[in-house]
Amino acid sequence: DTSSVGLAVRQVANETGKIDLNVGSATADLTGPACSATGASWIYDTYALAQVTGSALVKAGNDSWYFITADYAFGHALERDVTAVVKAAGGKVVGSIRHPISSQDFSSYLLQAQGSKAKIIALANAGADTINTIKQAGEFGITKGGQKLAGLLFFTSDVQAIGLNAAQGLVLTESFYWDLNDETRAWTKRFRAKKDKIPSMLTVGVYSSTLHY
């Protein structure tokens, strides 16, 4: 749980007068209740992810939501922030269910989400949990039934892991995309000369925070 770790690091850094550079701890509490004069965050947080994905989907007519949420600080914060955005935009949350981190079987959670008839099944989890949820949703034919999946924290590397077929129709938000424009393509070319892989927004966040200080 990187969000819980990030909050703990922020507290220690605050108490000792050290600078902490956060990349990856997504809870918006790091710039809210746990805000610090010596702490900074890069790339994304739950507030930013919520504002982009939540508002865009509701404006497109997807006004009913059901959450499958990881049961720890990050998942709770993401569900909280997206719920606020959805409701402010005129949508509604018809239900939610929480799962332990590093779960393997999402069938019961997906069946409940499917039964909710919500237009959006929002995945307030990350990493292997999100990948497993999407793969198993495909096995149940959930998106073929008309519901959409929203990966609230999903990386280009995750898309590569599940394959394009499983990722079809998935909605996600990224703060950096390598093929966005000439500048991002040029940076990616320099990066790939050192490490031959497509960088994710997390990679760029580490790069930016390191050079910034």
Q: What is the pLDDT of residues 184-198, one digit of tens each?
A: 999 999 999 999 989
pLDDT value of residue 11:
95
Asked whether the predicted pLDDT for residue 90 surpasses 90, the reply is yes
pLDDT value of residue 2:
85
Asked whether the predicted pLDDT for residue 26 surpasses 80, the reply is yes
Helix (H, G, I), strand (E, B) or coil at 21: strand
CATH architecture, domain defined by 46-172: 3-Layer(aba) Sandwich (3.40)
* Cβ proximity of 152 and 122 under 8 Å: yes
Average pLDDT over residues 83-105: 97
More confident residue, 131 or 163: 131
Average pLDDT over residues 151-164: 89
Asked whether the predicted pLDDT for residue 182 surpasses 80, the reply is yes
pLDDT value of residue 100:
97
Helix (H, G, I), strand (E, B) or coil at 209: helix
The full DSSP string for 36-90 is -TTEEE-S--HHHHIIIIIHHHHHTT--EEEEEEESSHHHHHHHHHHHHHHHHTT
pLDDT value of residue 166:
86
Model's pTM, two decimal places?
0.89
Average pLDDT over residues 108-135: 97
Query: CATH 3.40.50.2300 in the chain, residues?
Result: 46-172
* Cβ proximity of 96 and 154 under 8 Å: no
Q: How does DSSP classify residue 35? A: -
pLDDT value of residue 213:
80
pLDDT value of residue 3:
86
Asked whether the predicted pLDDT for residue 15 surpasses 90, the reply is yes
